[in-house]
Amino acid sequence: MASRPSSREQLAKPDDVFALAKLGYQQELKRNFSKYEIMSTAFSIIGLLPSIASSLIFALPAGPVGMVWGWFIASIFTFLVSVAMADLGSAMPTAGGLYWWTHYFSAPAWKNPLAFLVGYSNTLGVIGGLCSTDYGFALMFLSIVHMSVGEGTFAPTNGTVYLVFVVCIITHATVVTFASKIMAKLQVIFMVANLLLIALTIIILPIGRKHTNGAHFVFLKSENLTGWPPVWTFFLSWMCPIWSVGGFEACVHLSEEAKNAPTAVPWGIMSSCGLSSFLGFVVMIVIATSMTTDINSLINTPLGQPFAQICLDALGIRGAIFMMSLLAVAQWLMGLSVLVAGSRQSWAFSRDGALPFSKFFSEINQTFGYIPLRTVWGCSVAALILGLLSLIAPAAAWALFSLGVASNHLAWFMPIFARVVWGRDKFVPGPFYTGVWSIPIAVISCFFLLFSIVTAMLPANGPKVTPETMNYTVVINGAVWGGALLYYFLDARRWFTGPRITLDAAHSGLTEEQEEMISKEALVDIR
């Protein structure tokens, strides 16, 4: 079978080029990631134990019931979302999947504005994810310093936290730039390191603690250490698993770098989410077993990091420093993977001309291994700006966590909703498909995502807010969502028509037979 010589052949196998061509896109990124490396990347982004350590503050006010059962319930709903996303990712694997799917399934009158909104919301979400990950690293690093020099000797300011955050962001961007050719292989190493860290924690925390809590405390003891009614305090505890396990979306953004993407992407989404949900439930039980019963002392610890205090109580100063050092390394590696995936989403949105300076950011750098180098650094600079929230107050800094949840969950909600309401007849299943369960799973996912968006907007301490306790998520997300729609209706509606066709038949790397099939099977008009 004859094929036309093309430089695209060195980037991907013909079947992968064909799958992307059906969506109207030229293969521009090198497909380095196997399905195991895709899954490993998502698992590394989830970074289960450092994620739990960073977001445990959301679960503690509800007590062990919020920690254990809040995790269990929220992770079930989150897994259903991952299944709904896997259906779409298998059928239409592209780096800009969320807004591409929204545009494809939505009614003609709504497809352009909704896709525009989803693209901006997802961009904010991935940048917010990078911010919250690296802010969590800064707190971990400084808690280690605090334990090392002794209480009363070192008291980090908001400015100190931000400085560590800046250094972390810059080192991530530098490593992603120069290590792009081995980044796929590194993800497997990162995943193994995370699994070993989880196993170590499950073993040594209960052993180190002289007195462990009984089953009644772990599974039945509830608290309400906020100004909200008890039920809302319990719902707010869901933010811990929702934020911790949400990294499975990265598989979508790596679709155009995945080998056999229609199979690898859904497998990566569900396996990373399912494994993290189960292991997280086990870890939460272990933490509840090993921590002090004085939960207020954990929330208000001078270390600034509740999990660091738990380790200190259980393992002593040397054991806690050792444990938190391992966690900090894992958190740093997690941020590295977040930047890899986030830069791909921003590149895909730039490729379709929707972001400011899209022509500049859509360029692919061949010198460093066919990567979107400009969006790597663009996302990093945006994260540095957004991270300035940490200079206001700790409560404002926690908005870095919840704004990522709210932004991404809106971006996840829209394509699933559009498929249920407008796109049932347009959906063509890929190799992975849940069949008759597909629509019920999608409907449940939509309700959960809407609920989690509202929950992410609530102030953590109660309905009475001050500038210091305000949850700035509602302000930032409201500005981005409202600004995106205003920008669209005032200007972008004149030129934004959705995802752009970049397929070049003369240099596509397709076989002649595939080119004939494209004309019949393409999901978009590529003429």
Of 392 and 196, the structure prediction assigns the larger pLDDT to: 196
Residue 100 carries which side chain, given as an amino acid letter?
A: W
What is the CB neighbour count within 10 angstroms for residue 356?
Answer: 9
In a domain, 168, yes or no: yes
Average model confidence (pLDDT) across the chain: 88
Which domain covers residue 438, as residue numbers?
47-496
User: Are 171 and 333 a contacting pair, CB within 8 Å?
Assistant: no
Percent of the chain, pLDDT > 70? 92
pTM for this one? 0.88
173 CA to centre of own chain: 17
Highest-confidence segment of 148-152, 153-157, 276-280, 298-302: 276-280
d(CA 38, CA 253): 10
363 CA to centre of own chain: 24
Q: Read off the pLDDT of each residue in 435-451 and give the average, rounded to a whole number.
A: 97
d(CA 84, CA 125): 19
Question: In this predicted model, what pLDDT tens digit does every residue of 299-317 receive, in sequence order?
Answer: 998 888 899 999 999 999 9
In a domain, 71, yes or no: yes
Of 449 and 504, the structure prediction assigns the larger pLDDT to: 449
In a domain, 327, yes or no: yes
In a domain, 527, yes or no: no
Tokens 């709210």 -> residue: 406
What is the CB neighbour count within 10 angstroms for residue 501?
Answer: 16
Any residues with CB less than 8 A from the CB of 5 and at least 6 apart, and which?
Answer: none
Q: Read off the pLDDT of each residue in 228-247 and give the average, rounded to a whole number.
A: 94
CATH code: domain of residue 331: 1.20.1740.10
Query: Is 504's pLDDT higher than 80?
Result: no
Highest-confidence segment of 202-211, 236-245, 460-469, 511-520: 236-245
Query: Is 105's pLDDT higher than 60?
Result: yes
In a domain, 162, yes or no: yes
User: Are 209 and 313 a contacting pair, CB within 8 Å?
Assistant: yes
* Burial (Cβ within 10 Å: 0-12, 13-18, ≥19) of residue 365: middle
In a domain, 175, yes or no: yes
* HEC profile of 161-209: HHHHHHHHHHHHHHHHHHCHHHHHHHHHHHHHHHHHHHHHHHHHHHHHC
In a domain, 42, yes or no: no
d(CA 216, CA 186): 42
Of 440 and 492, the structure prediction assigns the larger pLDDT to: 440
Query: Is 165's pLDDT higher than 60?
Result: yes
In a domain, 5, yes or no: no
d(CA 220, CA 62): 11
Structural domains counted in the chain: 1
User: Are 319 and 190 a contacting pair, CB within 8 Å?
Assistant: no
Lowest mean pLDDT among 12-16, 233-237, 370-374, 438-442: 12-16
d(CA 52, CA 56): 5
pLDDT recorded at residue 15: 78
Beta bridge partners of 371: 365
pLDDT recorded at residue 395: 65
